[in-house]
Amino acid sequence: MRSMVLAAMLAWASAAFAQSYPVKPIRWIVPTGPGSAVDVNARRVTPKLSEALGQPVIVENRPGANSMIGAREAARSPADGYTLFQAVVNNAINDALAPDACCVLNDKLVPVTRLYTTPLVMVVNPGVPANTLQEYVAAARAKPNSLTYASGGTGAITQMVGELLKLTAGIQVREIPYKAIGAELPDLTGGHVSTAFLSPVVIRDMVRAGKLRALAIADRQRLSILSEVPTMAEAGYPIEGLGWNGIFVPAGTPRALIDRLQQEIARVLQLKEIQDDALALGTRAGGEKPEEFAAFVRSEVEKWGKVIKDAGIKAQ
């Protein structure tokens, strides 16, 4: 009986604590630079979250080391609900390729909810003799390594999708690594690199202008802003390559605070203006419970871990 009373008292105290939270500004660490897609996502959500919580939510950009600088800073922060980390898919890939014990997702950093998911679009220079993914595969098989694809380097989601396509289709396509997001676009439109896997909003206008040709969406469903472009699964290659980001907090953060944050962020993401904006950008707003988001992250680490192993990718 005494244990039941104690448990009830603790539950009441935890709920009361969550209701009084927050009492000071909250840090929102973004692991990419100002103006990046991830940063834009943050600045779309944080003003509305500030209104809901009654305290400023301050975005702090901590780019570098393939998103690990921000992860390390977040993991070292107090587990009090006042430091949020906007992890990206590269953080999950890092956990499969070269895990840093300080800040492994679902361990040292625990999930709150997913923010946005953006399927990558496979595009080619118009000079590539392929109007469909099937024709692309046929061209690659006819002349191994004659085609190339742009990647963001070792551990980038663009490398993962390129290598997964090669493994799935049994083709040889040369990787051309770039150091910065978007740096490949001049070479892609100029025909110096054949292929890239990019976010829909980046390539939509170039596709419509005929400067690039979109072959497939790396997702299970088509995109409304590129409705004419089939999925890779429709072309016979069920590949998913998703750029995603979501909120994590340092391990040890009280569960009541995690639940409060998840509920408030989910409400923001369900606002019509947020939903409409996401649709226009070719992305999807999240808001899942922590357990659902944790399961998704585990699946991503497992999937890309297998690609890393099968493709023989080594950390640099």
Two tokens at 63?
């780019």
- Domain count for the chain, please give it: 2
Q: Of 267, 260, 261, which Cα lies nearest the Cα of 286?
A: 267
- The reported pTM is 0.91
Q: Which domain holds residue 46?
A: 14-118+242-311
Same domain, 50 and 111: yes
Q: 251 in a domain, yes or no?
A: yes
33: buried, middle or exposed (CB in 10 Å: 19+, 13-18, 0-12)?
middle
CATH code of the domain containing 297:
3.40.190.150
8 pLDDT tier (thresholds 50, 70, 90): very low
> Whole-angstrom Cα distance, residue 28 to residue 283?
21
Is residue 249 located within the same domain as residue 267? yes
Q: Tell whether 152 and 106 lie within a shared domain.
A: no
Q: Which of 4, 218, 7, 252 is nearest to 118 (CA)?
A: 218
My answer on whether 292 and 154 are in the same domain is no
Same domain membership, residue 220 and residue 178: yes
- The tokens describing 289, both together, are 């419970």
Q: Give yes or no for residue 166 having a pLDDT over 80.
A: yes
Query: In terms of domains, do 176 and 153 share one?
Result: yes
Give the pLDDT band of residue 65 (cuts 50, 70, 90): confident
Q: Which of 194, 226, 258 is the last residue of a domain?
A: 226
The answer to whether residue 235 sits within a structural domain is: no
Q: What is the pLDDT of residue 13?
A: 46
Q: Please check whether residue 171 lies inside any domain of the structure.
A: yes
93 in any annotated domain: yes
Last residue within a domain, chosen from 199, 226, 253: 226
Cis peptide before 22 (omega within 30 of 0): yes
Does 232 fall in a domain? no
CATH number assigned to the domain comprising residue 189: 3.40.190.10
For CA atoms 98, 102, 103, 107, the dihedral sign is positive
Q: Does 206 lie in the same domain as 260?
A: no
Tell me how far apart the alpha carbons of residues 163 and 169 are, in angstroms, rounded to a whole number: 10
134 in any annotated domain:
yes
Shared-domain flag, residues 28 and 61: yes
pLDDT of 37? 86
pLDDT digits (tens, 9 = 90+) for 221-265: 999 999 999 999 999 999 999 999 999 999 999 999 999 999 999
Kindly state whether residues 61 and 145 are assigned to the same domain: no
Q: Are residues 271 and 187 in the same domain?
A: no
Q: Do both 108 and 41 map to the same domain? A: yes
For residue 234, tell me if it sits in a domain.
no
DSSP state letter for 191: T
- Same domain assignment for residues 195 and 215: yes
Asked which of 167, 201, 226 is the last residue of a domain, the reply is 226
